[in-house]
Amino acid sequence: MRIRLVHLTLLAGLAGLAAMATFAARSVAQQPAQQPPQEEQNPADAAPQPFNPQVAALMSMIIQPRHAKIALAGKAENWPLAGYEFKQLQQGFQVVARAAPRYKGLPVGELIDAALKQPFAVLDFAIKAGDSRQFNEAFGRVTAGCNACHTTTDNPFVVIKTPDANNFSNQEFEPGKR
C-alpha cells in the first residue's frame, strides 16, 4: 500500500509540474517580445515623441526673437522687414495659443488678445505709415503688453524690453542692403 501511495504522490506531483509548465509556456507565448535593454537600443530606432514644449520654451523660441527683430527693423526704418516680422510675431502667438491653450488654468489666446490686440493695431498702423516716432511708441506699448501678461500669469520677474543690441549678426536690418 505504501508503494502505491508513493506512486500516486509522484504521479500527482508530475501532473502538477506538467500543468505548471504548460501554463508558463502559454503565458510567455502570449506576452509581447521583450525589448532589448535601453542601453542596447539605438536612439535613431526609437519612435518619435510628440513635440510638446512648455509655454516658456515657446516664448523663448518663437516670440522673443521676433519681438527683437521687429525692434531692430524699426530702428533701421526698414518698414518692409518690420511688417514681415510683425506678421511673424502675430503668427507665432497663434502657434503658442494652439500649442498651449491654457497656462496656469488661464486661456492663453484670451490673455494674448487682452494684452496685445490694441497695441498690435497701433504698431501695424505705425509700420504701414513708416513713422519712427509712432513705431517707437507703439512698440513700447506692445512690450508693456507682454510684461502685463507676465504679471497676470504670476511671472512679473520675466521682464521684456526693447533690445539694446543686435543679437542677429547674421541678418541685415538696414534697408536696401544685399
Question: Which pLDDT score is estimated for 19?
Answer: 47
Cα 70 from Cα 166, distance rounded (Å)? 11
Cα 130 from Cα 136, distance rounded (Å)? 11
Question: Which pLDDT score is estimated for 14?
Answer: 47
Determine how many CB atoms are found less than 10 A away from the CB of residue 162: 16
pLDDT band at 3 (very low <50, low <70, confident <90, very high): low
Could you report the per-residue pLDDT of 104-144, keeping only the tens digit for each?
999 999 999 999 999 999 999 999 999 999 999 999 999 99
Question: Which pLDDT score is estimated for 52?
Answer: 82
pLDDT band at 29 (very low <50, low <70, confident <90, very high): very low
pLDDT band at 35 (very low <50, low <70, confident <90, very high): low
Residues 6+ away with beta carbon under 8 Å from 59: 96
Q: What does pLDDT average to over the chain?
A: 85
Residue 78 pLDDT exceeds 50:
yes
Q: How far is CA 17 from the centre of its chain?
A: 56
- The average pLDDT across 27-56 equals 71
Residue 9 pLDDT exceeds 80:
no
